[in-house]
């Protein structure tokens, strides 16, 4: 093997400038791939974190997964029955305390009750449809990061007025409400209430900040005109990634609908998937182009060294040995390029991370979210090495197959 | 020294049986045809003939660099048509040493490294042993002080001697040379010839050398003449008894 390395390095050294260009190509490819990966995954994780933190990981609602089967349907299996309206169900989760106690025995995380109501907010002649979340200010910090996302006021401010309400930042701006403003709420069932704005929350997810308001559970129950009702149990898991499994088990055990955050955000996550596919394609293309440089130089060297190859073969070198020489050259370029590429990638990340941006008027100054992961470096290096190896293999194979006589005849 | 009769009876190192080589071109070109010959141990054979007669082609066939279209070449008693390319490479590596008209040394390596190449490909010796052996061979060819030089730092004659040294690297019984002195001046040419002569006389090697020079051929032990790809003469120029 040292023979192969010896010859390979000699060739590479003899073509220093061209080799450097090829190395530079690989390094650029690897560097930018790493930066892209850090950027894409960084923003994705940042976004999901924001989303996941602000929302309960699992929301159990009083809706049944499917409408209950009608007695008539049960009896006449094949008969189509028209005109049956499912009986009006009592809203809310039956015996929420017992349900919560049962869940607490096995769900790894925190559980809290909530009331969700749709309402129209009316203020200064503007109507906006919102989701009112009845929360427990004492328990909420365990279930979501809402408490840390308060722009003005705090969760406990909800105790300050009789009907106190916290508005999402975009919502407040939209209707022009401020702390102390008195707004009016109307529910779909005709309930009405006036409430005083005591806080502004800002989660950083546009749709949430635009359509969400928070009140005490009691206030939401009054708004719904249903005392004591709990129509949502909210769960924050220690590990948000298992939400789907836990939600499925909750559905089986309680027969209430339980929606994991990833289901609630399905569209968003699939958008990320599309984004990831695009990213992989672009990164792959960058590395592919980089490997053209490697292919180019190995082809050049094999052409230049055709006579030497013939000599080596005539001396009795085996085909694999000759092939290995050039594959090693390609891998050397790939390896050195990858090392520089990793350094470059890290430097690019540091550079990008050093900027502070104002994404919109609603957010504080933030840095570009970047995710540093050893995997990015390993994968980019792996792909670069693989493509270099392939780029070297084909010219190497061609060169190694040459019959020495053909070249010696020509040269002599 | 062995008696002539005994020498003739010794098993041939290289044997060609009814060998023809036809290039498969638009118009097929016959390089050599109906070659029958046996090269025995310690022979010093000249292959002569007009330019384009097929001398080099024959040498490549005898050296397993090329394969006959019909007929058979046996090297060291082994058939060579049915074995793999790697096995033929192995026979070349261990059993045959090549010297070409041009030195064909690897330009980036020193004389010593060039001589070490076949040893390293064989991989039997340690790095230090290979080094020592390369230096020894170079010294025996009067190149002791040139071991560290690259080919472009040497004269044509020196380069050609390095090429001979490389051919001797794995101590093969047979050396095949294609006009080894063809590109050299008289003095260098004499030097290289003397080395080949010594290989036969002193080290018991077998040398087959293509040459244009009738004068050189006359000083070898056997002369095979090729005309138009055929052997037209095969004679002992120096009776074995006088050796
Ligand atoms: N690739 C080829 N295509 C066509 N003809 C070829 C090819 N290689 C060799 N020949 C022909 O085959 C014949 C034998 O060539 P070869 O090189 O063996 O001759 P030679 O006796 O060594 O000549 P020289 O003394 O000039 O070296 C020549 O006539 C040559 O033109
Ligand atoms: Mg010739």
Full strand arrangement of the beta sheet holding B70-75: B29-39, B14-23, B70-75, B78-79
Interface test with A, best of B108, B112, B123, B178 (most A CBs within 10 A): B108
The domain boundary, picked from A200, A230, A255, lies at A255
Ligand 2 centroid, distance to B68 Cα (angstroms): 17
- Is residue A326 situated within a structural domain? yes
- Note the ipTM here: 0.87
Whether residue B2 has pLDDT greater than 50: no
Paired tokens of A365: 């100054």
Interface probe with B: pick from A3, A308, A316, A407, most Cβ of B within 10 Å = A316
Per CB-CB distance under 8 Å, the chain A contacts of B91 are 316
Residue A225 and residue A272 in one domain: no
pLDDT (0 to 100) of residue B173: 93
Same domain, A160 and A75: yes
**pLDDT at B1 (0 to 100):** 41
Residue A129, in any domain of the structure: yes
Task: Give tens-digit pLDDT for A101-119.
Answer: 888 888 888 888 888 888 9
How far is A314 from chain B, CA to nearest CA, in Å? 6
Complete domains list, chain B, with CATH: 43-56+83-238 (3.40.50.300)
pLDDT digits (tens, 9 = 90+) for B196-243: 999 899 989 999 999 988 888 999 999 999 999 999 999 888 765 455
Closest CA relative to residue A263, chosen from A68, A53, A56: A56
**Do residues A134 and A157 both lie within one domain?**
yes
Domain match, A72 and A174 both? yes
Whether A115 maps to a domain, the answer reads yes
- Among the three residues A255, A280, A315, which one is the final residue of a domain in this structure? A255
Question: Is A263 contained in some domain?
Answer: no
| Backbone angles phi and psi of B204, in degrees to 5 | 70, 20
Name which residue leads in pLDDT, A195 or A80: A195
What are the tokens at B196?
Answer: 């080949």
- Same domain flag for A233 and A305: no
pLDDT (0 to 100) of residue A90: 58
The verdict on a CB contact (< 8 Å) between A315 and B101 is no
Ligand 1, closest atom to CA B59?
Answer: 18
Within a domain: A84 = no
With a cut of 60, say whether residue A189 has pLDDT above it.
yes
Average pLDDT over residues B97-112: 88
Q: Is the pLDDT of residue A81 over 70?
A: no
Mean pLDDT of chain A: 84
> Who among A10, A307, A318 is closest to B109 (CB)?
A10
pLDDT digits (tens, 9 = 90+) for A203-220: 877 888 899 999 999 998
Nearest ligand for residue B51 CA: 1
Q: Is A253's pLDDT higher than 80?
A: yes
Residues A216 and A300 in one domain: no
How far is the alpha carbon of A304 from chain B, nearest alpha carbon, in Å? 12
- Taking only the tens place, the pLDDT of each residue in A291-324 is 887 888 888 888 888 888 888 898 899 889 889 9
Tell me which of A221, A255, A289 is where a domain ends: A255
> B104, B109, B119: best mutation site toward chain A, by most A Cβ within 10 Å?
B104
Could you give the C-alpha distances from A365 to A77, A210, A359, B231, in angstroms and in order?
62, 20, 7, 93
A333 inside domain: yes
pLDDT at A227: 79
Cα A195–A197–A201 angle (5° rounding)?
Answer: 130
A316, B60: Cβ pair inside 8 Å? no
CB contacts, 8 Å: B94 with chain A: 316
B118 inside 8 A of chain A by CB: yes
Helices (H), chain B: 4-9, 55-62, 85-95, 111-122, 127-140, 156-167, 186-203, 214-218
Pocket of ligand 1 (CB under 6 A): A 409; B 23, 25, 29, 31, 49, 51-57
Whether A88 has a pLDDT exceeding 60, the answer reads no
For atom 29 of ligand 1, which residue has the closest CA?
A: B52
pLDDT for the residue numbered B8: 52
Q: A18-32, A39-53, A109-123 — which is least confidently predicted?
A: A39-53
What sign does the CA torsion over B58, B61, B63, B65 have?
positive
Q: What is the pLDDT of residue B170?
A: 92
Q: Is B131 on the interface with A (CB under 8 A)?
A: no
In A, which residues are within 8 Å of B85 by CB distance? 319
Residue A312 lies in a domain: yes
pLDDT value, residue A391: 87
pLDDT for res A187: 87
A111 and A37 fall within a common domain: no
- The verdict on A71 and A25 lying in the same domain is no
A194 touches chain B (CB under 8 A): no
Contacts of B121 in chain A (CB under 8 A): 3, 312, 315-318, 321
A251 and A348 share a domain? no
Three-state secondary structure of B105-143 = CCCCCCHHHHHHHHHHHHCCCCHHHHHHHHHHHHHHCCC
Residues A285 and A176 occupy one common structural domain: no
How sure is the predictor about A86, in pLDDT bands with cuts at 50, 70 and 90?
low
Measured in Å, residue B65 CA sits from the centre of ligand 2 at 14
Task: Tell me whether A412 touches chain B (CB under 8 Å).
Answer: yes
Judged by a CB distance cut-off of 8 A, whether residue B60 touches chain A is yes
First to last CA, chain A: 31
Alpha-carbon torsion, ordered A322, A324, A329, A333, to 10 deg: 160
Q: Residue B3 has what pLDDT?
A: 42
Name every chain B residue with its beta carbon within 8 A of the beta carbon of A9. none
Q: Classify residue A225: in a domain, yes or no.
A: yes
Asked whether residue B62 carries a pLDDT value surpassing 60, the answer given is yes
| The pLDDT value given to residue A74 | 63
- Which domain does A31 fall in, by range? 2-52+268-411
Instruction: Measure B52 CA to ligand 1 centroid, in angstroms.
Output: 5
**Is residue A27 domain-shared with residue A137, that is, in the same domain?**
no
Q: Is B168 within 8 Å of chain A by CB? A: no
If you average pLDDT over every residue of chain B, what do you get? 88
Chain B residues whose CB is inside 8 A of the A2 CB are 120, 127
Give the relative orientation of helices A16-54 and A319-353 as an angle to the nearest 10 degrees.
Answer: 50
Q: Is residue A305 within 8 Å of residue A396, measured between CB atoms?
A: no
User: A40-54, B30-44, B86-100: which has the minimum mean pLDDT?
Assistant: A40-54
Percentage of the residues of chain A whose pLDDT score is greater than 70: 90
pTM score: 0.71
Residue A65: is it exposed, middle or buried by C-beta count within 10 angstroms (0-12/13-18/19+)? exposed
pLDDT, tens only, A343-394: 999 999 999 888 877 665 555 557 788 888 898 899 889 988 998 898 889 9
**Total structural domains within chain A:** 2
Higher pLDDT, A18 or B129: B129
* Nearest CA distance, B145 vs chain A (angstrom): 23
Q: Which pLDDT belongs to residue B6? A: 46
Answer whether residue A410 shows pLDDT above 80: no
> Are residues A230 and A292 part of one domain?
no
With CA atoms as reference, the chain A residue closest to B94 would be A316
Whether pLDDT at A6 is above 90: no
> Which residue in A277, A294, A278, A237 sits closest to A260, CA to CA?
A237
A to B CB pairs, distance under 8 Å: 74
């Amino acid at each position: 093997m040292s023979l192969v390395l010896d010859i390979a390095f000699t060739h590479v050294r003899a073509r220093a400038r061209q080799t450097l260009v090829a190395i530079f190509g690989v390094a650029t490819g690897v560097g930018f791939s790493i930066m892209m990966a850090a950027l894409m995954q960084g923003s994705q994780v940042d976004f999901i974190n924001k989303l996941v933190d602000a929302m309960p990981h699992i929301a159990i609602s009083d809706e049944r997964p499917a409408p209950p089967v009608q007695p008539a349907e049960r009896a006449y299996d094949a008969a189509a029955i028209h005109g049956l309206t499912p009986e009006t169900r009592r809203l809310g989760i039956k015996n929420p305390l017992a349900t919560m106690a049962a869940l607490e025995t096995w769900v790894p995380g925190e559980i809290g009750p909530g009331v969700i109501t749709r309402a129209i907010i009316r203020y200064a002649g503007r109507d906006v449809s919102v989701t009112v979340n009845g929360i427990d200010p004492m328990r909420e910090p365990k279930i979501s990061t809402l408490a840390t996302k308060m722009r003005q006021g705090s969760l406990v401010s909800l105790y300050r007025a009789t009907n106190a309400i916290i508005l999402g930042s975009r919502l407040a701006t939209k209707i022009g409400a401020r702390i102390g403003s008195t707004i009016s709420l109307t529910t779909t069932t005709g309930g009405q209430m006036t409430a005083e704005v005591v806080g502004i929350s800002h989660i950083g997810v546009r749709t949430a900040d635009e359509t969400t308001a928070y009140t005490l559970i009691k206030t939401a129950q009054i708004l719904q005109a249903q005392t004591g009702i709990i129509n949502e149990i909210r769960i924050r898991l220690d590990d948000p990634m298992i939400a789907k499994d836990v939600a499925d088990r909750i559905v089986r055990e309680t027969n209430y609908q339980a929606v994991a955050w990833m289901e609630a955000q399905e569209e968003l996550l699939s958008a990320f998937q599309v984004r990831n596919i695009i990213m992989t394609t672009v990164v792959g293309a960058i590395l592919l182009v980089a490997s053209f440089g490697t292919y180019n130089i190995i082809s050049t060297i094999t052409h230049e060294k055709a006579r030497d190859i013939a000599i080596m073969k005539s001396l009795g070198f085996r085909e694999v040995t000759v092939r290995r020489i050039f594959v090693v050259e390609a891998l050397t370029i790939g390896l050195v390029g990858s090392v520089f590429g990793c350094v470059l990638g890290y430097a690019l990340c540091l550079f990008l991370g050093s900027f502070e941006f104002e994404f919109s008027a609603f957010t504080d100054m933030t840095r570009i979210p970047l995710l540093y992961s050893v995997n990015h470096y390993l994968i980019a290096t792996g792909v670069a090495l693989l493509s270099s190896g392939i780029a070297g293999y084909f010219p190497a194979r061609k060169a190694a197959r040459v019959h020495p006589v053909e070249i010696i005849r020509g040269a002599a | 020294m062995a008696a002539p009769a005994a020498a003739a009876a010794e098993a041939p190192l290289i044997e060609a049986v009814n060998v023809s080589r036809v290039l498969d071109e638009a118009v097929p070109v016959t390089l050599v045809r109906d070659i029958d010959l046996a090269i025995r141990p310690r022979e010093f054979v000249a292959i002569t003939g007009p330019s384009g007669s097929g001398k080099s082609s024959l040498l490549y066939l005898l050296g397993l660099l090329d394969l006959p279209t019909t007929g058979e070449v046996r090297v060291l008693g082994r058939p060579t048509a049915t074995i793999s390319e790697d096995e033929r490479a192995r026979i070349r590596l261990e059993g045959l040493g090549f010297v070409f008209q041009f030195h064909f040394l690897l330009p980036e390596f020193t004389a010593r490294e060039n001589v070490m190449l076949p040893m390293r490909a064989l991989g039997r010796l340690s790095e230090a042993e290979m080094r020592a052996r390369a230096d020894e061979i170079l010294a025996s060819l009067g190149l002791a002080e040139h071991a560290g030089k690259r080919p472009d730092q040497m004269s044509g004659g020196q380069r050609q001697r390095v090429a001979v040294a490389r051919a001797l690297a794995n101590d093969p019984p047979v050396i095949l040379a294609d006009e080894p002195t063809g590109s050299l001046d008289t003095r260098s040419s004499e030097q290289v010839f003397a080395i080949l002569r010594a290989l036969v006389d002193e080290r018991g090697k077998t040398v087959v050398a293509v040459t244009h020079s009738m004068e050189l051929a006359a000083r070898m032990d056997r002369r095979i003449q090729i005309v138009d790809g055929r052997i037209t003469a095969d004679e002992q120029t120096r009776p074995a008894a006088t050796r």
